[in-house]
Structure 1
Amino acid sequence: MTTIETSLLRIATAGSVDDGKSTLIGRLLYDSKAILADQLEQVQEASERRSGEGGLDLSLLTDGLRAEREQGITIDVAYRYFQTARRKFVLADTPGHVQYTRNMVTGASTADVAIILIDARHGVVEQTRRHTFIASLLGIPHLAVCVNKMDLVGYAEDIFDGIVRDFCAVARGLGINDVQFFPISAKLGDNVVDGSASMDWYSGVPLLEHLETLSLADDPAGHDARFPVQWVIRDHDADYRGYAGTVAGGELRPGDPVVVLPSGVRTTIAAVETLDGELEVAVAPMSVTVRLADNVDASRGDLIAPDPAVAGEAGGVPPVVSREITADVCWMAGAELRPGARLALKHTTSSVRAIVDALEDVIDITTLERVAAPESLALNDIGRVRLRVSRELAVDPYERNRTTGSFILIDEATNETVGAGMVR
């Protein structure tokens, strides 16, 4: 098998209410035979109770919350896991309502591809632009635009082509390059897992085949080596010291010159190990133990990266070490965020205290324009924030590395996560 065939693909869906996100995911699960018999029986019973008629309501496979089933909408993020012979998938069904923006940010934050649904009867609407903007803000590298309910417009090619033109204009304005379009009917299964006899004018592959073969090799987050130290392993009798963690980008090899940040101590990787023995190379997102050639002072929260003085261009762009961070923050709490607020900040394996120095702007979620210098950020607002932290952090711009370029903000009184940040 190739790397593409055995890799994990993380998918987030987005679209307006009633565009068919949950039905599409249900169709993917149902047609790929990824539903257990008892689960299917429960969905069949629930479908009969809801409609009073026969037939299978595939949206019930993902609308798991009782409130969602009562209202017929998606509120929280519903995750589903399945695999085909070619790939493993994690599906996040994110809410379509504007008041649940924070839920979409949470569900899409780790996605490799975003599926944007558009109702063929309505075309590109405000929510389409909003969700596409959030996908671009989160740095999701691939978009799959599914024009759904083609059966309700007579499978008309000209309607599909018009929606493609409208969406391409939005994508160009946001600097999005990798977009694929699919004319589908999630309810009937056209071009989801199998092709469609009703749209012989469409020469592309079904959605699932595209997802199975999508290459992630060129995504920018994989270029620069990053290793946040999670735990220090010591064996005094054997004089052993190893640093355990998850590779957050690039590759780690024995002999690589590295620097421990934020201290700036330089050394070399002596070995990369797992329980099965030493490795010639470790790549993201493998969990490994790294041994260094020197007994350096490194601990949880430090970051091991290529030494720019030795690695040169091969080491990529080094992280930025600073106590001041500018980031786009999605605010997730009912209480507003104001300048001077004090919070806990968790970045990779590091935990520090932070103070809000300034709010630079807030994004008008309707017009997608930035409004300068707001007094505060309210629930679901996304704004540019300047933070000062209690000790230096080694960070990357979010567009280069979504792990080392992101953080969460925590209310120290309640221990609740109140914000998600993307370093700019």
Structure 2
Amino acid sequence: MSNELKKVFIVFSTHFDNGFTGTMEDVQSDLAWNLIPRALDTIEKSSDFGPNLRFTWTLPAWPLENALMRLEGTRLGKQLERVVAEGYITWHALPFTIHTELFGLEDFIRTMLPGYRLSRRFGRRSIAAKLTDVPGHTRILSTLMAASGVSFLYIGCNACSTPPDVPILFDWEGPDHTRVTTMYSKGGYGSPILPPPGYEFPIWLALIHASDNGGPQPAEAITEAVAQIEAAYPGIDVVVGSLDDFAIALRDLKLELPVVRSDLADSWIHGIATMPEELGMIRQYRERLAAIESFEALKGLESKDRPPDGFSTMIHDSYEAISLFGEHTWGLDTKLALNPPAEGGRVYDKERFTKLLEEGAWGRIRGSWREKAALADR
């Protein structure tokens, strides 16, 4: 137990997979029409919990922007826009969990645009980012985060992956020597409600995290977490908020933290090697998009002509497809679609393979792979 602990920030979030638990369309539609109403319900039910204890739900920037677009003009859309404006549903700076090693510099900069657009729309900017599932990223991420105004990065390692040997809190230094304060959770997406033994800092982030495309937590999760914290630390200050709230408090402390100057290996990057043709196409598009934009810019300077109709939309859609290809999900969850625990789990034999083939399960899996590959043709 930390004798120095003065404040605990409770943050609620979910892990966004663009697929995995269903098709991409299924997942995006479920977030908008099912999970958002559940979050609104929890926000309402926690409205009288006291100062700084009302439910706040943090989403990656891209799925939140996508939900706002899907719900535009509806009653639910107006409710969502209101709570986002109030800060009870909010976003962090990254669009979703990515394989950083797949991205070029320009690709990565474009992936930050959903968060930028939300910042312009709602009048506040996120200085925090979160990556869950993927255990590691290349250190250029630190440089790009710092250049984007992000001062705090949270990484939650998949519990089945071997995490890198890093402290729970450290300054991660990029190749240009800029740094981002990073919190690394080695045991799963979220962090424990109470800090681990030996934790020596005055604030703690209790990141209460749903699993893959999981819904918002119920209001009872707040009262249970607060009770657990206050039992361990009587009189301590507890707030429910966003990653930005923790990031601001952490920044203001000006802590002297260990410095990590190396890549954190990505041992979760299995999917990319299974689609070499599509990967080659993405790399070609990357070069062509840069050339096309440069050509149009120079032509505009020379002749004062505007780009052709639809040019900006084409550029936006192309970079969005590249970003979504680099999102870390690679098809449906095979352990559930093919080998559910109720049927024995991960059992691989010819009889079962033939049965699943005949029943169409393998067709659904292959369809999810084709859905991912199609992003290279978008």
What is the TM-score of this pair, normalised by structure 1? 0.25
Judging by fraction of residues, say which structure has more strand.
1
Higher relative contact order (CA 8 A, sep 6+): 2
Give 1 or 2: higher helix fraction. Answer: 2
The structure number with the bigger radius of gyration is 1
